[in-house]
Amino acid sequence: MSLCLTQFTKQISTLFADRGNLPYGEEISQTQHALQCATFAERSGCRNSLIVAALLHDIGHLLHDPDSGLDEDMRHEERGAELLRALFADSVWQPIRLHVAAKRYLCAVDPQYHAALSDASRHSLQLQGGPFNDREIEAFLRAPYAQDALTLRRLDDMGKDPQMKTPDLEYFYPRIEQALLAAN
C-alpha cells in the first residue's frame, strides 16, 4: 500500500519503532496496546477522531525517558495532549487529555470497575491521585469531551490482551491523515 505520509505520521512511525516495544507495566508493549485500542474503537463503530485518539492516547508514555521509574505519575495524558493539540481537532486530543481523569471518575462511581482494573492500572491510579471526590466528579462530568474520554477509557481497559491480533500501525495511517486534514 502506497501512502503519502505527512511529517507527523512519519514522526509517529519513528516514535513507535523506537519506543513502542518497551513494556509499561502490562503484559503487552505500548505498540500492541495502541493497536488494540484503535482496533476496538474501529470495531465498535467509533468515529474517526476517537479511533485516532485510541491509537495515540498513550503517546505521552513514548515521550518519556524509558529509564523513568514506574513509581511516579509522568502525566502522560497531559504530555500527549500537548503534543497533539496543535495538529488535531479537540475531538482527538481532548479525550486523550481526559482519559486518566475518566479512570479516576469510573473508580469513584463504580466499585466493580475499580475491582476489575489490572494491577498496573491500580498502581498508576494511586500515583494519579486515586478515585475522584464528589467535587472532582462534578467537574469531570462538566468537561467537554468527558463522554468521549469515558469511551476511550473503556477502550484502554480492553486493549491489554497478549494474544490479540491487530492490523499493523500502517493500517491506521489513513485515519491519522484524515484526522489531520479535518483539523485544518
**Span 26-82, pLDDT tens digits:** 889 999 999 999 999 999 999 999 999 999 999 988 876 655 555 555 777 889 899
**Span 153-165, pLDDT tens digits:** 999 999 999 999 9
Does residue 90 sit in helix, strand or coil?
A: helix
Say how far apart CA 176 and CA 12 lie, in whole Å. Answer: 10
Based on C-alpha coordinates, what's the Rg of the chain?
Answer: 16
Report yes or no: 62 and 15 within 8 Å, Cβ to Cβ: yes
**Span 67-119, pLDDT tens digits:** 555 555 577 788 989 999 999 999 999 999 999 999 999 999 999 999 999 88
Average model confidence (pLDDT) for the chain? 89
pLDDT at 176: 95
Give 35's contacts (C-beta < 8 A, 6+ positions apart). 55, 159, 166, 167, 168, 169, 172
Report yes or no: 106 and 122 within 8 Å, Cβ to Cβ: no
Task: Specify the CATH number of the domain 27-183.
Answer: 1.10.3210.10
pTM of structure: 0.90
